[in-house]
Chain A
């Protein structure tokens, strides 16, 4: 809308002035989904908003290019927020950036630009992609290098650990809400020290930004109390791992394109072919939605994580669940994809999920029959009779399927597709030569 961008820019500049902001943090994301940041002074902000800030991208995972290392960070003024945990005397703010080449064209190594491109494709079809994640994570005592130490096991804190964990969670939610990230539910999960926070749906770009902020806030709030929060998919053997179930829907204008009054499950044809797309391309996108060696320790039978490529109304062992809308509201009709884990790069994960689903819609894929029996209890023979495949069993399996996927290559773009495969194959090779301590060393601190 005319003048909108200018008004947004003025808003940001005036707020920085009025609130006495000392530092503005420019946030962006590397290809692996790590939050990256550099800080500028308020004096530099106006320039940054007008022309972007150039920086050397070669040190960022997945940004390196042969000819030109410098890239441009373009702050998205709509994402400007004052950071609530910094005290007001040294107030700070953050703004998410899109990364561009020096000539201003989108940089194809930037995950946020990749998601923008995929959302633009959806938009050409008339759809807005909405996402609501249920994020699980663990609180541990600070890593001492060997084993994760759940808070609930006692001994580490004087207070009862339930109090600490729930007050951490409460503080986290309060902080999220002041950063424009509304929370739908939160609770203590089944595993020791495991918690779940469910975010309220937004459009996918806002949500990918929100997931980045969410992970940062959860860790930051925990660290202030000397607790380590981790999004590692499977930190403890023998108990449930951490997933990031995604509730998905497409809207066409103000109508939920997934809803139909005529279907017993209230699923429209669009919803069904979107699901069919997800099922048919599930194996291809798994390396992106579950990108670590450790991710595949979660995707095993017996822990409410999906193992099979199937769907059902009320079967938590399938890849896709169709939840019963709470209030019978047509806006709430949605599907729940249960494979992703919270260690994924949300921009890239949302991109490949959308691409797989949209392919189903475009080509009018037929949705296979519902698998309502408990698949975990069925033998392989019975399953293959039903035409039900398993999800990839390891990062290596997942990468093999991904590398021959035209769909994923298009969704991610060649730059990220190639880099991701190279980086992840290298990770797999490192893992192969190590025993299980590998996982703790690599992920316990970083995830």
Chain B
């Protein structure tokens, strides 16, 4: 195996099984205690990948995943460890990881998954432009246009719209949107989502406000339902 480079591993003292599997498979890794130290500990060429245990501490794990994506050099090879009971949580976090491993795991399986994760030097980079129904977001420049016309958005409006455009056609509850866009630590409550949806609708204009649909007593859906549309 050619050494792919330094892996970030969360938590900083991972389970014995995980540490042993990584060591025996020949990976070079460093434990990272919190998202804050992620940038500090990164080698100059950036992290080549990450293994994040979400099974014991889902909150810490997922916020680590988000932090990995937000780095100046976003980490694009992320494997998460989850329990069987957490499979439902994966659905709304598809954007945060490349592969997952159920725990407890068989070392051979994890090894195979890691090998596959690093198989190709070039993981297809997720496009920096996302589009939906005339809306175009350039994720690199943070610019949003609608029908070619620039949209002036605050940062949180932009992040919310990005979430919607990247996850069209599905209904998300306010709670899920809040934790995905604002993060668990945010105190404002799910009401914040309503406030920002109302603002986004206003900026999209009356005739396009329906792009973000309120699904009664559930939450919001961006664009047509993937079942009916």
Q: Which residues of A contact B (CB under 8 A)?
A: 1-4, 6-8, 10-12, 14-15, 17-19, 77-82, 84, 123, 128, 130, 177-178, 180, 182, 200-203, 206, 251, 253-254, 331
Contact = CB atoms under 8 A, between A and B. Distances in A.
A254 B189 contact: yes
Nearest to B202: A177
Interface stretch (B49-57, B190-198, B221-229): B190-198
B160 to A, nearest CB: 12
Contacts of B183: 1, 4
A1 B198 contact: no
Contacts of A201: 195
Nearest to A82: B152
9 contacts: A1-B63, A2-B34, A7-B70, A11-B142, A78-B156, A79-B154, A80-B154, A128-B187, A180-B202
Contact of B152 (A10, A84, A200, A203): A84
A287 B189 CA distance: 32
B28 to A, nearest CB: 24
A7 B155 contact: yes
B69 to A, nearest CB: 9
Contact of A203 (B35, B66, B192, B202): B192
A15 B190 CA distance: 27
Contact of B36 (A2, A8, A203): A2
Contacts of B203: 177-178, 180
Nearest to A126: B187
B198 A200 contact: yes
A396 B63 CA distance: 54
Contacts of A331: 191
B87 to A, nearest CB: 25
B154 A78 contact: yes
B146 to A, nearest CB: 12
A210 to B, nearest CB: 11
Given A178-B203, A182-B198, A1 B154 contact: no
B199 interface: yes
Interface residues of B, number: 37
Given A18-B141, A19-B150, A182 B199 contact: yes
A77 B155 contact: yes
A202 B157 CA distance: 14
A3 B35 contact: yes
Contact of B142 (A4, A18, A253): A18
B63 A11 contact: no
A146 B187 CA distance: 51
Interface of B: 34-36, 38, 63, 66-67, 70-71, 141-143, 150, 152, 154-158, 174-175, 182-192, 195, 198-199, 202-203
Given A78-B156, A80-B155, A180 B199 contact: yes
Contact of B155 (A78, A177, A203, A253): A78
A331 B63 CA distance: 30
Q: Which 10 A-B pairs have the closest CB atoms?
A: A1-B183, A2-B35, A177-B202, A82-B152, A11-B155, A254-B190, A3-B70, A8-B155, A14-B142, A180-B199
Main secondary structure of the interface of B (DSSP, over half): helix
A14 B154 contact: no
A253 B191 CA distance: 8
Contacts of B191: 128, 130, 251, 254, 331
Contacts of A79: 154
B154 A180 contact: yes
Given A3-B70, A254-B189, A81 B154 contact: yes
A92 to B, nearest CB: 12
Given A11-B158, A82-B152, A254-B189, 16 more contacts: A1-B66, A1-B183, A2-B63, A8-B155, A14-B143, A15-B143, A18-B143, A19-B152, A77-B155, A78-B155, A78-B156, A80-B155, A182-B202, A203-B192, A206-B195, A251-B189
A79 B153 CA distance: 10
A128 B192 CA distance: 11
A7 B157 CA distance: 13
A428 B198 CA distance: 43
Contacts of B202: 177-178, 180, 182
A24 to B, nearest CB: 14
Nearest to A256: B191
Contacts of B38: 2
Nearest to B138: A18
Contacts of A123: 187
A253 to B, nearest CB: 5
B180 to A, nearest CB: 11
B204 to A, nearest CB: 10
A130 B35 CA distance: 31
A233 to B, nearest CB: 29
A200 B196 CA distance: 11
Nearest to A179: B152
Of B63, B155, B174, chain A has the most CB atoms within 10 Å of the CB of B155
B185 A1 contact: yes
Contacts of B156: 78
Contacts of B63: 1-2
A254 B35 CA distance: 27
A113 B188 CA distance: 18
A124 B82 CA distance: 34
Contacts of B188: 128, 203
A1 B195 contact: no
A329 to B, nearest CB: 11
A6 B38 CA distance: 14
